[in-house]
Structure 1
Amino acid sequence: LKRSELLPLTQKIDSPLICTNCPHKMLSKSQVAVATGIIHGFDIGKISALNKVTPKTITWHKSEIMEKYSLNNNYDFFQFINLLKERW
């Protein structure tokens, strides 16, 4: 997988998962980048290196995804990621 195939945190994304005026819960650009990295099997260190941010920032975005979708633990989080993987 090439770096260009991932979604860097700073890249403009035209995605149905991002919508500033939608009434639904949507992932931010940064959250999409984190979810995409996890879907591709990358660990937090690799995702942070590819997006030129600290691992702590990636962990924070993961926590924000969990809070946004009321995911209580890592099991729920990875179930959610698998659901995203099927839909993307």
Structure 2
Amino acid sequence: MSALVSHRTGVPFPSQKEFAHEKLLTLGLAALLLTGCASEYLLITNNGDVLTSYGKPELDKNNGLLEFTDSEGRIQQVPQDTIKTVIER
């Protein structure tokens, strides 16, 4: 079976296997770039403690707690009224 060739450029089209490989590589690079976009945030409490959040903390409106993922990957919750400042690093 002969390869399909573009009538404009004369360049052969990639095979299904090559296309799948390129698609997988593109998706992998996109995932890598997106994970690199997550920022660190510092949460400074009213008593001066500093908590580090990987990704933006989110407020749970049902219970008034700020939820965030700490540097070890654990999900933490703290009362919103105990946080004095949130700084994006």
Q: Whose radius of gyration is greater, 1 or 2?
A: 2
Instruction: Give the TM-score of the pair, scaled to structure 1.
Output: 0.25
Higher helix share: 1
Higher strand share: 2
Q: Which has the higher contact order (CA 8 A, sep 6+)?
A: 1
